[in-house]
Amino acid sequence: MNKKARSRSGDIRGLSRLAVDATLGLTRLVETMHHNILRTPGIAGKHTEAPTTGITGLVYRTIQGTTRLVGSGIDALLAQLAPLLDTQPAASSSTREAVLAALNGVLGDHLAATENPLAIPMQLRRDGQPLVLTAEALAASIPQAGGKILVLVHGLCMNDLQWCRNGHDHGAALARDAGFTPIYLHYNSGEHVSRNGHAFAAMLETLLHAWPVPVEQLTIIGHSMGGLVARSACHYGGLAGQDWLRHLRRMVFLGTPHHGAPLERGGNWINVVLEVSPYTAALARLAKIRSAGITDLRHGSILDEDWQHGDRFAHGRKPKLVPLPAGVQCHAVAATIAKAPGSAREALMGDGLVPLHSALGRNKGKTGSLDFPESRQWVGHGMHHLDLLDNTAVYERLGSWLA
């Protein structure tokens, strides 16, 4: 997304649609609670999502109809004002990009499904500018392109610009110190990981076929969810027989929740508790607003079949384990807020978001673990999840593995 890619009218239209959707959703939630209260079931009785009837139902239907009418009016008005508003494109500041990335992380699947202008399209970028994936365009936009391609994949609620933290960017540093040409994936992290995996695999295939110089090797670094997206891309790229996998030499996972994140599992228990009583069941919808990307983090899901056949909020569903791609050197970096190894906080807290065993691909039951050799694992102490992006020791480890 370049500085003029998103118009001012597009931002306003996207926000207005989101407001309309939120009003309709809240109205339906209140109506459901109203209906269940009027039924006066027992505290643990069955709940219903049926609409209210009679005068009460008419009131709710009127609210919903008026809201849709207002939304249509705003869209029509903005269509007329777009030429005027778009004479001054919305600024593509790092703050604005961060807000959009966070919004997409939480509601991205809804934004994409409703074709909201705020939905982030998947792109490969440099310096926040999208790359056109033809040989001529790549040669013009990356005149110093080399044969060692490095693709960096950001995590949930983040964007490609946030690889630069406190003045340090792993991609830029590896370009300087090891001769890589860094490319950054920008994607809607609220979509299912597997959907992003399909799209990423297809995009890598196009990129490598269009690369303006002979490709020597491809390396991928994924932070957090980005590592899951990369693993999903490898899986689906392999099934499709895509050529880019022949060039993939190394993958590095920075704090990737290969076996899930406990915060999302905790969020799923909120659904279970709220749905116990008909008086609170409607409130479970609020907990279910979170995106498909977030629910995929519960167990580290990277496949379509993990979510296509059933309720993605259902408790106890476990994904199929996908092994690391064959013939690729895979490295796992984990972090822990514990200052030294051996403490109870080291394993329990991890980096504040991802436990150590999950980031290192280890299964507590000794089965289904990912095969990271000990020499390709590293744990950083006294650091949080985002510190993996700029910590000096982390970069030194990257340099020793990738140089």
In a domain, 278, yes or no: no
The pLDDT assigned to 19 comes to 57
Give residue 132's pLDDT: 98
Tally Cβ neighbours within 10 Å of residue 214.
Answer: 7
Q: What is the pLDDT of residue 352?
A: 85
Per-residue model confidence (pLDDT) at position 217: 97
Q: Tell me which H or E stretch contains 335.
A: strand 329-336
Q: What 3-state class would DSSP assign to 333?
A: strand
The amino acid occupying position 396 is E
Asked if residue 363 and residue 240 are part of one domain, the reply reads yes
283 falls within a domain: no
Instruction: Extract the residue ranges of the chain whose pLDDT is less than 70.
Output: 1-92, 263-290, 310-317, 344-345, 347-348, 364-367
Q: What are 311's two structure tokens?
A: 């309720």
Is the domain of 252 the same as that of 378?
yes
Per the listing, tokens 């030429």 go with 83
Name the residue among 14, 23, 103 with its Cα closest to residue 291.
103
Task: Give me the CATH number covering residue 209.
Answer: 3.40.50.1820
Tell me: do 205 and 325 sit in the same domain: yes
Last residue of a domain, one of 74, 92, 110: 92
Are 128 and 223 members of one domain? yes
Q: Residue 285's closest CA among 267, 271, 264?
A: 271
Per-residue confidence (pLDDT) for residue 160, from 0 to 100 = 97
Give the pLDDT of residue 174.
98
Find, among 204, 179, 195, the residue nearest to 399 by Cα.
Answer: 179
* 81 and 137 inside one domain: no
Residue 16 forms part of a structural domain? yes
Classify burial at 77, counting beta carbons within 10 Å of its beta carbon; exposed 0-12, middle 13-18, buried 19 or more. middle
Answer yes or no: do 252 and 331 share one domain: yes
Indicate if 240 and 324 belong to the same structural domain.
yes
| Statement to judge: residues 220 and 348 lie in one domain | yes
- Segment 265-272 long-range contacts (CB within 8 Å, at least 24 positions apart): 265/298, 265/299, 267/294, 268/295, 268/298, 268/313, 268/315, 269/315, 271/313, 271/315, 272/315
Instruction: Give the pairing of strands 129-130 and 123-126.
Output: antiparallel
320-335 per-residue burial string, b: 16 or more CB within 10 A, e: under 16:
ebbebbeeebbbbbbb
Domain presence at residue 107: no
How far is CA 47 from each of CA 39, 282, 389, rounded to the nearest angstrom? 9, 9, 46
User: What pLDDT score was predicted for residue 49?
Assistant: 53
- Give me the pLDDT at residue 114, please: 83
In a domain, 394, yes or no: yes
99 in a structural domain: no
Q: Which residues contact 392 (CB under 8 A, 6 or more apart)?
A: none
Residue 63 belongs to some domain of the structure = yes
The 3-state DSSP class for residue 293 equals helix
The answer to the question of residue 338 being in a domain is yes
Q: Is there a single domain that holds both residue 387 and residue 253?
A: yes
Q: Are 190 and 111 in contact (CB under 8 A)?
A: yes
Containing structural domain, residue 20:
8-92
Q: Which of 73, 92, 111 is the last residue of a domain?
A: 92
Closest CA to 293 of 327, 264, 251, 333: 264
* Whether residue 197 sits in one domain with residue 80: no
Nearest residue to 151 (alpha-carbon basis) of 242, 290, 75, 244: 244
Residues 166 and 214 in one domain: yes
Number of compact structural domains in the chain: 2
pLDDT tens digit sequence for 338-351: 988 877 667 667 88
Together in a domain, 80 and 130: no
Query: What pLDDT score was predicted for residue 10?
Result: 60
380: part of which helix (H) or strand (E)? strand 377-381
Instruction: State the Cα torsion 260-232-207-132 to the nearest 10°.
Output: -60
Rounded to whole angstroms, the Cα distance separating 306 from 308 reads 6
**Euclidean distance between CA atoms 21 and 304, whole angstroms:** 27
